[in-house]
Structure 1
């Protein structure tokens, strides 16, 4: 856990006194990611660097797992905090194995232990140790180097990590891949992380909590969902963007909006039965067709059922898409727009129907949390 209490930094410059961070107070719970956001010069990077004393605070204090960092030796403090920067900072004259092992060596790990750790970390980010351990940084792509920068910070298994725009210099495709890999690592390792970013979309995706800074002050500190649904003032509203409802889509899973009481028909049901079931359920356009194991295989449209006779098995259309319980609503919305659909069936890992997600259900869920601020 990171506790920041009234942390302040004042710089005496040629232009005068500048308060870069003004009595910042916040808490990052153990195992969570806190993203610091705000315009350039707002104090977020200064706040980050005061945690490991790259910048010395003017006043206030930082406690890591209850221990005041001012009582610790600076070198020891920094060796126990993983640090990742945008420029990566790999040593070009060292192999990847040597780069990863720098801190473990410094704190006294033996060769067998730090070599094993380097191999384990490479495997975690999808890089074959046999291929990459003996290579040098200039033999790697930018994305691969960034992965090494991240796992190097994890090498000595620090409880806390600081990340200063770690993915900012990577192209959008690789950035998303590395973000996803990092989130997988975080679910496994559960580090306590402070993370500076300029990108609200990155913050919403990565963060457990988001801190919005302005002119050295902490303006709002909240979960991504609360920040987007209840921005504190016009500055925060403007910073997160007018499309904040759309940003919230990636924070909500299908399981949270799933309509489980879904009417279905089977192969041997008649089209007239399908119409009755549609009417009873209030379905205007179609009903799902399932097999005997309740796996969706298609749908019967109202227009087809009205114009024909016979069994559903002879008149169904194939499903164009399905979603899963763990999918976020951004994925769902994309599929709905792609296929001009107002609903999609949801299946579990075995392909069995769990229910449906609808545009109306999504709108209802998002709208409910806005009522307090509209």
Structure 2
């Protein structure tokens, strides 16, 4: 959907020519989010702004859906590209409805159509239309204004969106919420998005592809997993950080790791049966107890089963945490550390047991992309 062909920008300054973007060549497939990442002054925002001609290229071409945009009318080009910036840029003298409808009005939409579009987008960004459409930007919080900025960019249903640190000025809690809502919207809308960020964690969370810039050059352009596993050079490796293996925890969902082979006991089974099932499955310390709806309700400890008689329902410990199928491994690892557990049961939306996930499995998965071939296996401690 977006193709940059040797895109270059040279600025003339009192001290001479400065190359802000140097022969940038890359493609973003339709429906994907590409994050432009790098230190300040590396050329990522300049590259973004050349796409909608806020900054005019010195040389090179921009293609959108296969069409060379060089000779397109600038206003027409911009009306077909959604644009969101960190400073939001809402018109303070316009209501929220009027802000959202700016581009549809310029495109000649009739009143009923753009009003309905505004209501539809408000619902999409989780803001009640009747409560917000007649307000002015000054009456909204920063996070709410940022959502309106996203809605305005989507108003005319553009195939391409450019986003310049759109969530950078929002506090971490609201930023995470808006990121999650935006990703849910993207699953439905499938826009092609170029997204500038300084935040490597945001890039990994939001991006289908990540472009690392340095001093006007495109250093590496990869999918997040490949980028973290195989940084091209020392600069990229240092930019990603020494914890890049741990950053991969954000990329893997529980559903991709859960083991379906799980031993369980029922409340009305006796402790001897629990002990034998632990032996059968090789569980050294405990076994899960599930109810008649196959929902995990507790664990029976081996130490109790060996020394006590009776039924599981009378001798179990409450489960401190469970993992949902759509949780990422970062959340799972955090729960394990917080509750001093080496495994967690995995449950679906109804809370039914689907499997389990272990620290050992997570460690093996993380290391598999980084592990060099060794002549001899390392002895287990």
Q: d(CA) in 2 for partners of 1:11 and 1:188?
A: 39
Work out whether 1:73 is the aligned partner of 2:62: no
Matching residue of 2:193 = 193
Deviation at 1:100, TM superposition (A): 0.7
Match of 1:281 in 2: 281
| Partner Cα distance (1:125, 1:148) in 2 | 8
Correspondence 1:145 to 2:145:
yes
Structure 1: runs of 5+ lacking an equivalent: none
For the 8 Å contact 2:246–2:366, the answer to whether it is kept is: no
The equivalent of 2:2 in structure 1 is 2
Give the drift of 1:350. Answer: 2.4
Q: Determine if the alignment matches structure 1 residue 240 to structure 2 residue 240.
A: yes
Unaligned runs of 5+ in 2: 375-381
Find the aligned partners of 2:226 and 2:261 in 1 and give their Cα distance.
29
**CA shift at 1:111, angstroms?**
0.7
Q: Find the residue that maps to 1:70 and give its secondary structure.
A: coil
Shift of the alpha carbon at 1:18? 1.1
State how far apart, in whole Å, the 1-side matches of 2:214 and 2:145 are: 32
Range with greater deviation from structure 2 (262-271 or 185-194): 262-271
Residue of structure 2 equivalent to 1:227 = 227
In the alignment, what sits opposite 2:212? 212
- Distance, in Å, in 2 between the alignment partners of 1:352 and 1:130 is 38
TM, length-normalised to structure 1:
0.97
1:127 Cα deviation from its structure 2 partner: 1.3
- Say if 2:87 is the partner of 1:87: yes
Structure 1 residue runs of 4 or more that deviate by more than 6 Å after TM superposition? none
1:90-149 CA-to-partner distances (Å, cap 9, x unmatched) read 111111111111100001101111111111111111211112111111111111111111
1:301 corresponds in structure 2 to 301
The CA deviation at 1:373 is 9.6
Q: Secondary structure at the match of 1:12?
A: strand
Q: Which residue of 2 aligns with 1:16?
A: 16
The reply on whether 1:175 has 2:175 as its aligned counterpart is yes
Q: Given that residues 344 and 357 in structure 1 are in contact (C-alpha distance below 8 angstroms), is that contact kept between their aligned partners in structure 2?
A: yes
Q: CA RMSD in A?
A: 1.4
Name the stretch that deviates more: 311-320 or 27-36: 311-320
1:328 aligns with 2:333: no
Q: Deviation at 1:372?
A: 5.2
The structural deviation recorded for 1:237 is 1.2
Output the TM-score relative to the length of structure 2. Answer: 0.95
Q: Does the CA-based 8 Å contact 1:230-1:373 persist in structure 2?
A: no
Equivalences for residues 117-136 of structure 1 within 5 A:
117-136=117-136
Structure 1 residue 44 displacement after superposition: 0.4
Q: State how far apart, in whole Å, the 1-side matches of 2:281 and 2:229 are.
A: 32
* 2: CA distance, partners of 1:120 / 1:268: 52
Deviation at residue 294 of structure 1 after TM alignment: 2.3
Q: Is the 8 A contact 1:86 1:168 kept in 2?
A: yes
Q: Distance in 2 between matches of 1:193 and 1:92?
A: 26
